[in-house]
Structure 1
Amino acid sequence: MADLSIVFGQKATTMECLACGDLKKDLELVSNLHVEIIDESDLFNCSNISELRHSFQSINSTRRFIVVGTPETSNIIQLLSEGEFIPITLNSPGKRGGCIYVVGKKLDHSFTQRKVLANNMVVLAGSDPAGAQYMVYDFSSRILGIDPFAYWTDYSPEKIDDYDRLAIESSVIDPPHVPIICYFDNDNDELANMTKPFLEFSFKNWKELINTLVRLRYNAIDLHDHLGRSEFYRWKYYKKLRPNYKPNIDLLNQVIEYGHKKGMKFQVSFYLGWKFKTISDKANKNYEKYKEEWFKTWKYYLESTPIGKCDIFLNRPRDQKWDRRYKGGNYKETALLFNEIFHEMRNIIKDHNPDAIIIADLYSEGMTVYANGFRPKPKEDFILAWPDDGFGHINNVPDELEGYRFGVYVHAGFFLNHVVQDPYPEALYEAMKKSFDKGLNEYCLVNGQTFRHFLLNIEACSRICYDPISFNPDKFYLEWCSRYFGQDYAAEIVKILKLLHEGQSNRLGYVKTIGYAGNGITRLKLMKWLFFLPKSFVLKQFDKIFGIKDNFTKMLEEDEKQLREAFESAKKIEHAIKDQNHFFHDHIILPIKLLLQLKQFTIAIQKAAHDYKNKEHIKKAYKIWRNHTKTRLEGDKNKKWSTW
């Protein structure tokens, strides 16, 4: 006989059943209990509270129960709700909300704030299946100590010696403040190129990504790169990496099917440049003349590709093939044109899926297009997403929403700080809270880049979306560092992470810095080739063309100082940190070291140009680059991520 029974309702949804399966794995991971999952009708075929009370009391008193469900899907929870033994109804606390309650088997309304689990049953109830699912994962995280990022951190929870002695405070958990929290899988090169075939995740990685996001309360995901972005089949680098690239349709269908079972909605960036079928360059530049080509391409996506299975459709008043502004007119003309385009696109989407959610993303110059009159109609069919600047700062939030529903688009990671995390929960909180207070709270799109680099910011976004009022960035920082590295050094690690952020001032993250380093090498080559021109002239002209300011070296040196302090502080406490599978090294020390080396290399390249005759700068740069390359290739200590 099982030691513990997880009981699901007779009308349980697939989402609830899968959550029960995850709970079983979590319980068996932290305890020595033999856990079973059963249908409530196997033990409790009750029509009223008296019969339910009798059923519980007639069962062996040492048997443990966790009941999962909603008043609609579980007879037990319906009876407990009607008898006011648990504070849950279909409307309270509302969709995606619920309660974690400990109920005595006598069902005698003898409530106490805190109860041990011995001789009691745990009820994980939601107002809807999503709420029940969240209660399961909250229980696993808060009570069992399960790390929602376990696949990415390689953390195992502490063992629970005596389940019956666990004490739980019964609590009502409100729905998230933001109803749609969508993860944007974008610029995912490191994860997509860990194994062949390149430019795609394995299904295992997709499952783990979805499982993690669900535990964090994300309820949507944008597949983006896996749909076959233009760069993959047009850029020389990607064509060499994977010749004859095509999206893996079987994989996409498999991922969508799994995600839907877990309660995730799928978003598609409904541009017209995906590899399945793309509009011609002439049509891309001239909607009015080639609008039928636009319409046919959208319809093809919906009728003949996995895009048709998606639930949320996002588009931007921008170029439909490339990451740039629309070239067919000035901003006012673009606004008027895309008012028509979005109306036609809306009709095509709604004909295919009347329940589809449509997002108008105002990323980049989209805000300027909005300022010049972009207003898609009908208003009730669009959510407008107001973007940050790529680094967690949201500016110029509209004072009047004009009857539109608004949300936000934020970056947990950005392509300019790709590879090395830039932790900034304070900036995210300030920007998102300000936006939510103004009513931009219907939707949140979170760009996570390669995911594993940006775990802290990804979780911060989720927590802010859940409860922006009680979220405290400093408290969150401490809690996060304590979770992974212990309380003794958590405050010190927070300081180290803040130094890592400060070491990326002026948006000089890893990718942007490496771009400047590459320009610096080109500049040195030109100075050598154009030997007949004064070096100062070549230097000045090059810097003018590439926007390299006079104080650039000083900026790099200030960043280098912050990063060196962070690196030395981290190395000083490394031996005392209580982590698992080298997570402190790989997630804290390694990214700091990578960025520090790159800044030092770029400084040496800068000095080599300004002090051209002194060849020691070039020698130093070469030595740093060799060490940096070795760090990139061999830096990870956790073998699971050794090719990362």
Structure 2
Amino acid sequence: MRNKLSIYVVILLLMATTVGAKNVKLYNNIRIHDKTESQAVAYARKALQQDFQRKFGTSVSQESAIDIVLNIDKDWNAFDKFKIEINSGKINFIGSDELGLLHGIYTFSEDYLGIDPFVYFTDIVPQPVSSIQVKAGIVTSKPYTYKHRVFFVNDEDLIVGFQMEKLEYGFNLEFMEHFFETMLRLKMTGVIPSTLVLADEPHLKLASDMGLYIAQHHAEPVGSVPLYWPKNIPYSWSTHKEHFVKFWRDAIERQKGENVIWTLNFRGYLDGAFWHNDPNVSHDSPLAEKAKVVNEVIQTQYDLIKEITGNETPLVCGYLWSELGGMYRAGLLKYPPQTMILFSDQGYGEFPKGTWESAKKTNLGKGVYQHVSYHNRKTHLRINTIHPDILHREMDLAISHGLTDMIVLNVGNFKEKIFGVQQMVNYMNDFDSYKEKPTGDYYFDWYVNDKFDSSSPAIIQSYKDFFANQFDLGDPERKPGDEWFFFYVEQLLNMAYQKEFDDKFVKKEFPGDGQKEFQKLKDFHSKMDFILDAYAQIYRATGSKWSVSVQHTLDAKSALSGGRLNFYNVDMALPTQKMFHLTAMAADFTESLNYYLNKEYHKSQLAAYAALEHAKKANEIETKIEQNGSGKFKDWYRWDETALTYRIEEVLENYMAHVKDLKYFNLEYKNRNSKTPGIQHKYQPFFESEYQKELIYMENAK
């Protein structure tokens, strides 16, 4: 597909006016002339040089050098526009501003050299050729669907797999450079590079140096970090306003002079509702009273930005995440006239009821805060849990209601989210090319064609099945991911050990459709028996699907080779295997716990052992994903505090030890064949047994 260059240019982002029909020859011998003196352009220039090598090999061609000129037209009064003039022996890249020029350079790499924008993560490179022919002419950029396009690298993972060996060293800047480059290749304009980030941290400065606007977390207004709030001072607006003013003033001072999209917002100390920390406002306070506090805060922050930066019309946004969305839909929040209001999804791709009616009434700038994967100890998933149908439907609604001034895309742990990120990037840049599609189901074919240059039914079906295999717990559009499995084991064991049922857990996570029957039950054991049976049915049925999908991925790999095979392995085949083992683990653990509660301890131990083996295999698969290809993603999961697959193994080992130590665990000795494999564990049993003396005879049986 990437070889059909002129068609690809039109389909993605460009409209080309061809001057004549002359073909121009491109090869690996270029001289780049940077007329900008821009540090950001210097990074892109280095990437462009490498992209020529990716396309043509590292050997320099004997053909005459091609002159590439990089420039910014200061008289071109526009945001983020570019044009590319292609002539024999010379290519001019001209941007209306720094971002426009950067996007022009990376668009050329994608559309003419065939470089996948995710190349650092996919390792998919074009087949090398000695030269290519392209048409001479002028290519101009097409308007993007969204003006400001921002990636949010969320706090749950913080790309921690790329930290240096010691945590205090912070982020690995070598990786972050590749990460920010990937964002620019995808035509992003800004980034929230992490959570808990101070304005002078090197990875934030690097993002700015590379040309990205700095945006801010919804819970870190004006770039402040509430987690670093002064010790022993209550985080309370009603009692300590002067401390907030100084806190925000310091944050703004550190960032003035940079390209910043300032966040106006007010949440609590640890990204909760602010009234959790304020003695004069409570959960039960009237909504209007809560909104009054938020309005005071927003106006204070806005006044500080204008005062400190000297800009009377700063670029500002306000997130309607969680409780703030309810206040705004009730007409209670007041933002400055220049604010871009970001309507937020609920974490699972779907927007709250009332969003679109509220959007119709909004006279301010409008945008969205959207997730491709939500981390809440239940729904994070390798690839992602949000089906393409949901993203297609919700983005269609958002764009049709004019929510296109700004988008913040929460990409979670980015490496595993390429499938969902790519779909959202398509919509952020050029939704018109996809809006006529009736559903998002088309995207499976599109993605396989784009990433694997294939229309293999087996590969396409493996992606469809990955989503079809997910089960729901009462909400069809919210699927538990790999975070769910440790959460499940932890919660069920807590209930079993404490012999106390957690009604809140079951209310939110009830399996199947038997909730009415369940509510009739009164005692702990009958409730646990019922719920475990219901979970077991789901896990067994889902496990059967994953077993088939594993076989299909093995077959699908036969259609691929090289980098594409490697990427399919980490993007689909190995995650499918991991989900099979996690689901099988949950099924065996559920069976074990049922036996445990019914005092069938021998059966409980055997099922727990089977569950533990599946957990170990899931961890082994994570290691394979990390070490796949060149091995540059080693330790990606090392500090992963979301899926916690490694913790499943630890918890199950402790659970097995507990079962083994039970004095009621009297194993009946039935097989006296000393040559039976595995029978040696009975020589020295690790449990109290009325048969222990009888087992001495085993020594004589040798």
Residue in structure 2 matched with residue 96 of structure 1 by the alignment: 80
**Cα offset, 1:447, TM superposition:** 0.7
* Partner in structure 1 of residue 334 of structure 2: 376
1:65 aligned to which of 67, 72, 77: 67
Partner residue, 2:304? 348
Indicate how the Cα distance of structure 1 residues 520 and 176 shifts in structure 2: closer, same or farther if over 3 A, else same: same
Q: Could you say if the C-alpha distance between residues 555 and 410 of structure 1 is closer, same or farther in structure 2, counting changes exceeding 3 Å?
A: farther
| Contact 1:386–1:406 (CA under 8 A) maintained in structure 2 | yes
**Equivalent of 1:425 in 388, 394, 406:** 388
Cα separation, 2, equivalents of 1:31 and 1:137: 17
How far 1:345 moved relative to its partner? 1.3
Conserved in 2, the CA contact under 8 Å of 1:360 and 1:384?
yes
Taking a change above 3 Å as real, the CA distance of residues 351 and 528 of structure 1, as seen in their structure-2 partners, is closer
3-state DSSP class of the match of 2:275? coil
Residue among 147, 152, 158 paired with 1:179? 147
- Matched residues in 1 for 2:110 and 2:442: separation? 18
1:266 maps to 2:214 = yes
Structure 1 residue 385 displacement after superposition: 0.9
Structure 2 residue 373 is the aligned partner of structure 1 residue 413:
yes
Kept in 2: contact 1:70–1:126 (CA 8 A): yes
Q: Does 1:485 align with 2:452?
A: yes
Alignment match, 2:350:
393
Query: Which ranges of structure 2 fall in alignment gaps of 5 or more residues?
Result: 1-27, 473-478, 502-520, 637-702
Per the TM alignment, residue 474 of structure 1 is displaced from its structure 2 partner at its CA by: 5.0
C-alpha contact 2:256 2:308 (8 A) present in aligned 1: no
Q: Is the aligned partner of 1:292 residue 2:242? A: yes
Which of 631, 635, 643 pairs up with 1:643? 635
Offset at residue 266 of structure 1 (A): 0.8
TM-score (normalised: structure 1):
0.77
Give me the whole-angstrom Cα distance separating, in 2, the residues matched to 1:124 and 1:426. 37
1:43-122 to 2 correspondences below 5 Å: 63-72=65-74, 90=76, 94-103=78-87, 119=88, 121-122=90-91
Letter in 2 for 1:641: F
Residue 151 of structure 1: how far off its partner (Å):
1.8
**Residues of 2 paired with 1:536 and 1:169: CA distance?**
77
Q: CA 1:551 to 1:352, structure 2 compared with 1: closer, same or farther past 3 Å?
A: farther
* Partner in structure 2 of residue 125 of structure 1: 94
**Aligned 1:118-197 pairs, distance under 5 A:** 119=88, 121-163=90-132, 165-167=133-135, 171-187=139-155, 189=157, 191-194=159-162, 195-197=164-166
Deviation sequence 1:542-583 (CA, Å, 0-9, x none)? 799xxx798444444444344333322112222442241722
Structure 2 CA distance for partners of 1:550 and 1:359, relative to 1, 3 Å = farther
Indicate if the aligned counterparts of 1:393 and 1:427 stay in contact, CA closer than 8 A.
Answer: yes
Give the C-alpha shift of residue 216 in structure 1: 0.4
Which whole-Å CA distance do the structure 1 matches of 2:191 and 2:172 have between them?
16
The more displaced of 26-35 and 504-513 is 26-35
Shift of residue 13, structure 1, vs aligned partner: 4.1
1:209 is displaced (CA, Å) by 0.9
Q: 8 Å contact 2:327–2:333 — kept in the other structure?
A: no
- Is the partner of 2:44 in helix, strand or coil? helix
Task: Please give the secondary structure, in 2, of the residue aligned with 1:640.
Answer: coil
Cα shift readout 1:45-104 (whole Å, capped 9, x = no counterpart): xxxxxxxxxxxxxxx99553334334438xxxxxxxxxxxxxxxx36xx5323334434x
The structural deviation recorded for 1:361 is: 0.8
Once the two structures are superposed, residues 274-296 of structure 1 have per-residue CA deviations (whole angstroms, 9 ceiling, x without a partner) of 37840567732x32222112112
Matched residue, 1:594: 578
The one-letter code sitting in structure 1 at the alignment partner of 2:325 is M
d(CA) in 2 for partners of 1:144, 1:204: 24
Partners of 1:132 and 1:527 lie apart in 2 by 64
Q: Distance in 1 between matches of 2:542 and 2:291?
A: 40
Partner SS, residue 508 of structure 1: coil
Secondary structure in 1 matching 2:569: helix
Kept in 2: contact 1:283–1:291 (CA 8 A): no
Q: Is the 8 A contact 1:96 1:176 kept in 2?
A: no
How far apart in 2 are the matches of 1:307 and 1:205? 26
Query: Residues 316 and 120 of structure 1: is their aligned pair in 2 closer, same or farther, counting only changes over 3 Å?
Result: same
2:551 aligned with 1:568: yes
Relative to structure 1, is the Cα distance of residues 128 and 274 closer, same or farther in structure 2, using a 3 angstrom cutoff? closer
Change (3 A) 1:326 1:592: farther
3-state secondary structure, aligned to 1:393: coil
Residue number among 179, 187, 194 corresponding to 1:217 in the alignment: 187
Letter matched to residue 283 of structure 1? P
Deviation of 1:425 after TM superposition, in Å, equals 3.3
Shift of residue 537, structure 1, vs aligned partner = 2.8
Counterpart of 1:520 in structure 2 is 492
**For the Cα contact (< 8 Å) 1:336–1:373, is it kept in 2?**
no
Task: Name the TM-score, length of structure 2 as normaliser.
Answer: 0.71
Q: Deviations over 1:346-402 (max 9, x none)?
A: 111222222642221111232212233432232x23211111121222233232233
Structure 2 distance, partners of 1:528, 1:462, is: 47
- Secondary structure at the aligned position of 1:395 is classed as coil
In structure 2, relative to structure 1, the CA distance for the partners of 1:334 and 1:494 (3 Å cut) is: farther
Matching residue of 1:301: 251
Give the total of aligned pairs. Answer: 551
On the 8 A contact 2:342/2:367 being kept in 1, the answer is yes
Go from structure 1 to structure 2 and tell me whether the alpha carbon gap of 1:279 and 1:516 turns closer, same or farther (over 3 Å shift): same
Check if 1:283 corresponds to 2:234.
Answer: yes
Q: What residue is the counterpart of 2:12 in the other structure?
A: none
Note the C-alpha offset of 1:169. 7.7
Alignment check: 8 A CA contact 1:177 1:467 kept = yes
- Is the Cα–Cα contact under 8 Å of residues 176 and 467 in structure 1 kept in the other structure? yes
Q: 2:435 aligned with 1:435, yes or no?
A: no
Counterparts of 1:35 and 1:401 in 2: how far apart (Å)? 59
Instruction: Say which SS state the counterpart of residue 429 (structure 1) adopts.
Output: helix
- Give the drift of 1:212: 0.6
* Distance in 1 of aligned mates of 2:248 and 2:211: 26
Contact between 1:70 and 1:129, CA under 8 Å: does it hold in 2? yes
Output the CA distance in 1 between the equivalents of 2:272 and 2:529. Answer: 26
Stretches of structure 1 lacking an aligned partner (at least 5 in a row): 37-59, 74-89, 104-118, 228-246, 530-534
- State whether residues 358 and 382 of structure 1, in contact with CA within 8 Å, keep that contact through their aligned partners in structure 2: yes
Tell me if structure 1 keeps the 8 A contact 2:208–2:259.
no
User: 2:101 is matched by which residue type in structure 1?
Assistant: A
Deviation at 1:419, TM superposition (A): 5.0
Question: Counterparts of 1:542-557 in structure 2 under 5 Å?
Answer: 551-557=534-540
Superimposed CA distance per residue, residues 455-491 of structure 1 (whole angstroms, 9 cap, x where no aligned partner): 12222222201111113655554343234334152x4
How big is the shift at 1:213? 0.3
Cα gap change, 1:538 to 1:159, in 2 (>3 Å)? same
CA distance in structure 1 between the partners assigned to 2:181 and 2:292 by the alignment:
42
Contact 2:458 2:555 in 1 (8 A): no
CA apart distance, 1:265: 0.6
Q: Find the counterpart in structure 1 of residue 22 from structure 2.
A: none
Note the aligned Cα RMSD (angstroms).
3.4
The offset of 1:338, in angstroms, is: 0.5
Partner of 2:524: 538
2:422 maps to what in 1? 459
Name the CA shift for 1:34/1:583 in 2 (closer, same or farther; >3 Å): closer
Deviations 1:296-341 (A, max 9, x none): 21122233x5698561222544324334563333333211210111
What is the CA-CA distance between 1:498 and the residue it aligns to? 2.4
Percent identity reads: 17
CA 1:125–1:626: 2 relative to 1, 3 Å: same
Letter paired with 2:414: F
What one-letter code is carried by the residue in structure 2 that aligns with 1:346? Y
Instruction: Give the partner amino acid of 2:609.
Output: K
Q: How many angstroms apart in 2 are the aligned matches of 1:67 and 1:346? A: 41
Match for residue 619 of structure 1 among 594, 606, 609 = 609
- The question of whether the paired residues in 2 share the 8 Å contact of 1:146 and 1:157 is answered with yes
Summarize the Cα distance change of 1:563–1:315 in structure 2 as closer, same or farther, 3 Å threshold. farther
Kept in 2: contact 1:277–1:297 (CA 8 A)? no
Q: 2:150 touches 2:192 (CA, 8 Å); kept in 1?
A: yes
Distance in 2, matches of 1:171 and 1:140, equals 13
Deviates more, 1:553-562 or 1:567-576: 553-562
Asked whether the 8 Å contact 2:193–2:203 carries over to 1, the reply is no
